[in-house]
Amino acid sequence: MKGTSARFTVLLGAITLGSLPGCVVEQVTRGSGRYLLPETGLEPDGEATDLGARFQWNSLGFVEYDDFSIPLVSPEGDLIAVRAGAAPKWPAILATSAAEPPAAAWFRVYEVDDEKGLRLRHELKRSWLLGRATDSRGFLVEEPLPNGERRIGRVAWETGEITWLVDEGFVDAFATISDDGTLAWSRRSLDEPAFDLFVRRGDGVGTWVLPSRWERSWIDPVLSDDGRTLFVLRRGDGTVELGWTRLTDESRFKDGISTHGISIRTTPRRVQAMLAPQVGAASPPGRSARIVFLHPDLGRLVEWSPRNDLVRPFPDGVINAAMVDEDRGVATTSESLLLTELADGTGRSPSRLPLTREPAIPRQRGGPDDGLLLFRPADGRYEVFSARLPDG
């Protein structure tokens, strides 16, 4: 397990960006919004139970990866897309003006079978970055071009063929897609530093634009599972805000966006790390729209919903999570996998029960009854597991 521990030490160092001991209360007002973080208090480990002994996880095999990208999982949970080769460089990750085409890497699609394990379906060698989302038709990729432009494509699960969804002579980046075909992404011109926010509706009603202001960029949009809500980060010079709006009509999208201050002492890499660990799992299903992200000042994973305007922290040390219902999630630290339950109000602490003594990145498979996929990194490979929480 030496490779696993080393990998998670690197991951934790990259995304755990500070910590505040003891209880924390933070309130920031932006327009009509209120941003409240509950007191977390002490967080003792859960009592010893037989939960870990009853936790079922079975190895499906190994896949090579680039020591950076987290695999993408199809909506049905039966296919995964993995990038293998040299890791992309930071200018390409951040889509800056210094970005160059990355070295060609392998993009592989694997079928996931609980009985037979992993089977390679397609592989392509291309100078792409692995994207941030999937739909039933394929997974997203992005290609920085030699002339400074960047385009967004979708690789078909069935055929491995690429369709360029956005290729219009701009720097188009940070795309996400929902299963109804709605696409959200960031765009800037080659000679401008700030990104505008674009949404192309899947129902064909058109493309909506939210312009940048004061050189603050709209980046890393997240489409909620409810089909009506969009979350997005607004990055400024050392600052970052969390924004959200509705997709019910163009006016509501443009004029109804609300932002909440997150940090006034951050960097582009720290902002990138807010959602990078949650790729494919940033807005889990639930009664209302919500987003899970790494708070750059608190150095911990949190969940926020506009429904109650309440931030709920995960247990200290959690760096990645997949929610399995409204309050419970499977989460990983640098040393173990946990079942955690988020608090239902201020002044309460999230609970944690150990599942394994080994870390792994959890992802939901299809619906809530379809179990999980776990990705355990070690020495340039992921070991892939199918997993299921015990009943009761």
Q: How many domains does the chain have?
A: 1
Residue 390 pLDDT: 80
What value does the mean pLDDT take over residues 263-285? 95
Region of poorest pLDDT, from 4-13, 140-149, 193-202: 4-13
Q: What is the pLDDT of residue 4?
A: 43
Q: For residues 318-342, b (16+ Cβ closer than 10 Å) or e, as one string?
A: bbbbbbbeebebbbbbbbbbbbbbb
236-244 contacts at long range (C-beta below 8 A, 24 or more positions apart): 238/264, 238/265, 238/266, 238/267, 239/263, 239/264, 239/266, 240/266, 240/270, 240/271, 240/274, 240/296, 241/30, 241/216, 242/35, 242/291, 242/293, 242/304, 243/218, 244/289, 244/291, 244/306
358 and 374 Cβ atoms separated by less than 8 Å: no
| Residues 304, 270: Cα–Cα separation, whole Å | 19
| Type of residue numbered 11 | L
Burial environment of residue 383 by CB neighbours within 10 A (0 to 12, 13 to 18, 19 or more): middle
| pLDDT tens per residue across span 36-67 | 455 544 455 555 456 655 788 899 999 999 99
Q: Give percent of the chain with pLDDT exceeding 90.
A: 75
Q: Whole domain around residue 296: which residue ranges?
A: 2-388
Position of tokens 């200290």? Answer: 316
Average pLDDT, the chain: 87
Is the pLDDT confidence value at 96 over 50? Answer: yes
Question: What CATH number has the domain bearing residue 174?
Answer: 2.130.10.10
CA distance 348 to 313: 10
Q: What is the pLDDT of residues 291-319, one digit of tens each?
A: 999 999 988 999 999 998 888 999 999 99
